[in-house]
Amino acid sequence: MSETRTHCPYCALQCAMTLSVDDDGPAGTAPTVSVAGAWFPTNRGRLCRKGATAAQLLGNRPDRLTAPLIRDSRESDLRETSWDEALDLVASRITALQRRHGPDAVGVFGSGSLTNEKAYTLGKFARTALRTSRIDYNGRFCMASAAKAATEVFGLDRGLPFPLTDLDEACTVVLFGSNVADTMPPFVQHLQRARDLGGLIVVDPRRSNTAQLTDGGAGHHIAPASGGDLPLLLSLAHVLLAEGLADERYLGRRTTGLEDFRRSVADWWPERAQAVCGVSALRIRWLARHLAAAARAAKAGGDPVVILTGRGVEQHRDGTDTAKAAISLALLLGLPGTGHGGYGTITGQGNGQGGREMGQKADQLPGLRSITDPADRETVAGRWGTTAEALPGAGVPATQLLHTLGTDRGVKALLVHGANVVVSAPDVLHVEQRLRALDLLVVCDFFRSETAAMADVVLPVLQWAEEDGTMTNLEGRVLRRRRAVTGPAGARSELWVLAELARRLGSTVPLAEQPEEVFAEIRRVTAGGRADYSGLDWDRCSEVAAYWPLRESLAEPLTEPLTRESAAETTTTGEPVLGTPRVFTDRFAHPDGRAHLGPITVREAQPASTHGLTLTTGRLMEHYQSGTQTRRVEELLDVHPEATVSVHPATAAQRGLAEGGRAELRSATGSARARVVLDAGLRTDTVFMPFHFAGAGAANRLTAGLLDPQSQMPEFKSTPVDLHPVGVGEDA
């Protein structure tokens, strides 16, 4: 029996776990999972249902892809072939399409689930081997608004600018639009002190499992209308400023733009906000005063106050402004960078943080550098061994990339890595139509996902415990995932796949094939960038908590217990720390060292459903993302085997719906069918669907391609819908 310490393949907590492998066991036997001890403070030896069953997906399962598949014609089925035939076919088709239509005829779609090494190599491959600007990734659906807001206000995009363990000491934690009890259950232990003190405040249209943590005097649940978070936040800011509760001394020292922000919230008195967001004026005033009092107490030596946001407030057409309003609220309270609390956003995908730092985002190069900045282009090009002129410019965001496939202004070929866009993209019926219009669709995956089933070429790749790599979790920790088992004989690492394709395409820029080699290159290329990994070490990522930015000049030998950029310290658990666990302690990341406040306005809401119902989508405890992995785990599927729609009992009665019956939802873009679940914790004007299911139960058949104009993130959380029962015999 061998044991390997590694990290979970799912969410951005990246919980530590131990894989126990019986070296004498039969081929294809899944290893067992045990939780690691308190050595990793994020989960402290706890795993959720998904993590505890993750190893079942490893090995030679009957549904694993073990050989390349190609389709001889659009009418034929996929057939097995050799790697040489598959890669030669992809390279020749790409070459022909680019000769005919130019480099941008080929697009690349990446993922926040890829390791840092894969995400980095994918971006480098796109810009040097393919020479295309058309690359983006599914983080556009997840973190784009929060990243844009943090960059504009703080000057730096790091989800949590402090260790997660700082929450252990907080007396007040406000969660806007996040259901961590379901999406990342081990997170909940860090909220216990706030619950004990009655200081957990959950803002969510649903009475989610996280909202229920406030029961019994543990805190408060506030339920705005779907999409009502922005007017609520602006009204809270209005009260703080109008009643003299803002920390004017802090604002004068550490921010700019206060007067512009003050003018923009002047009209959002609580009575006006109440009519828009559905939260009473009395409740708004109470919350603003409560937060101000808690922040004053924290700065007088009391416990910290923390404001957190999740996708519930960000996946809207005004998601960037809503995230900026939440940051602005924290600044008005004088919290960020003081040690008395602060603001953070909860990253969702496993490598959602690292994935956007490594250069697979349409407008970014490795190290959070900008592809439109001449100095950044020169730096990266020089370290890649090419010229800035040879690099393409900025690409187009993911939704635009997908919705224009096969058109005159879109790509003719698409390479998909680690994503299942047929389930996860908005307006998926249109996305399916566009995928069929492509000349070439290539999918790298380890299972035959719904997107892979549509492909012309499917390339079988290794998964999390079958190869080494690093991930960057929601706190900015760079962690090592270790190889614990041998993958199926026919599967290959995506690093090898990309290197082989680059060679066949005649690229003169080399691509490393081994994770450790790529990591060393990441260190060199990110040096001097905002996300600086140059001081990290491959082995050190397994032994200490390493937070970026960490410059090479500040790195210490492993025998040294701790270093950080401003002062030596440990986390609240006493673990050694390397890097910068807490950014903004001395200054923010803008050149002037200040946070930049500015005006925020509320855009006109999209027309409501004539039936008065709004669909919001989200995740379940048992499933993850598009369900490609978790719908293959029997224990998880048994708990939640199909798409459901949660409806308030009063709403269900009005529409003739019964618990367990079937319902059809209709929107401007399509229709979906789901099993009815009655939920008295919902607002009567809101229905909820998880987005993990495919086919007629795909929630994104209903969502439209409406985008935030700043981040280009789709509106997933507020879709006008109609809802009615499905008759007997009608549900084919």
Residues 356 and 253 in one domain: no
Residues 260 and 324 in one domain: yes
Residues 402 and 417 in one domain: yes
Report helix, strand or coil for 414.
Answer: strand
CATH of the domain at 668: 2.40.40.20
Residue 12 placed within a domain: yes
Q: Say what the alpha-carbon torsion angle 31, 138, 497, 624 is, to the nearest 10 degrees.
A: 10
Residues 307 and 392 in one domain: no
Interatomic CA distance for residues 675 and 670, integer angstroms = 17
User: How many other C-beta atoms are found inside a 10 Å radius of the C-beta of residue 348?
Assistant: 26
Interatomic CA distance for residues 629 and 214, integer angstroms = 32
Range of the domain at 224: 152-274+299-346+554-604
Q: Of the candidates 574, 604, 634, which is a domain's last residue?
A: 604
Beta bridge partners of 135: 108
* Residue of 449, 462, 485 lying closest to 30 (CA atoms): 485
* Residue of 86, 98, 112 lying closest to 412 (CA atoms): 98
Residues 567 and 503 in one domain: no
Burial of 408 (0-12, 13-18, 19+ CB in 10 A): exposed
Residue 520 placed within a domain: no
Residues 216 and 320 in one domain: yes
Residues 10 and 159 in one domain: no
Residues 157 and 176 in one domain: yes
pLDDT at 728: 55
* Residue of 228, 206, 312, 213 lying closest to 646 (CA atoms): 206
| Positions of the chain with pLDDT lower than 70, given as ranges | 24-29, 37-38, 553-576, 605-611, 728-732
278: left (phi over 0), alpha (psi -120 to 50) or beta: left
CATH of the domain at 44: 2.20.25.90
Q: Of the candidates 604, 622, 646, which is a domain's last residue?
A: 604
Residues 373 and 436 in one domain: yes
Q: Of the candidates 604, 636, 668, which is a domain's last residue?
A: 604
Residue 536 placed within a domain: no
CATH of the domain at 369: 3.40.50.740
Instruction: Find out whether 705 and 393 touch, Cβ atoms under 8 Å.
Output: no
CATH of the domain at 187: 3.40.228.10
Residue 696 placed within a domain: yes
Burial of 729 (0-12, 13-18, 19+ CB in 10 A): exposed
Note if the bond before 549 is cis, omega within 30 degrees: yes
Report helix, strand or coil for 4.
Answer: strand
Sequence-ordered list of residues with C-beta below 8 angstroms from that of 13, at least 6 positions apart, any chain: 42, 43, 164, 184, 186, 187, 473, 474
Residues 595 and 663 in one domain: no
pLDDT in tens, 193-214: 999 999 999 999 999 999 999 9
Radius of gyration of the chain (CA): 25
Output the 3-class SS for 619-636: CCCCCCCCCCCHHHCHHH
Residues 178 and 268 in one domain: yes
Q: What tokens were used for 164?
A: 């997660």
Residue 540 placed within a domain: no
User: How many other C-beta atoms are found inside a 10 Å radius of the C-beta of residue 488?
Assistant: 21
Residues 500 and 386 in one domain: yes
Residue 484 placed within a domain: no
Instruction: Find out whether 645 and 675 touch, Cβ atoms under 8 Å.
Output: yes
Tally of domains within the chain: 4
pLDDT at 541: 82
pLDDT at 561: 28
Residue 111 placed within a domain: yes
pLDDT at 575: 55
Residue 293 placed within a domain: no
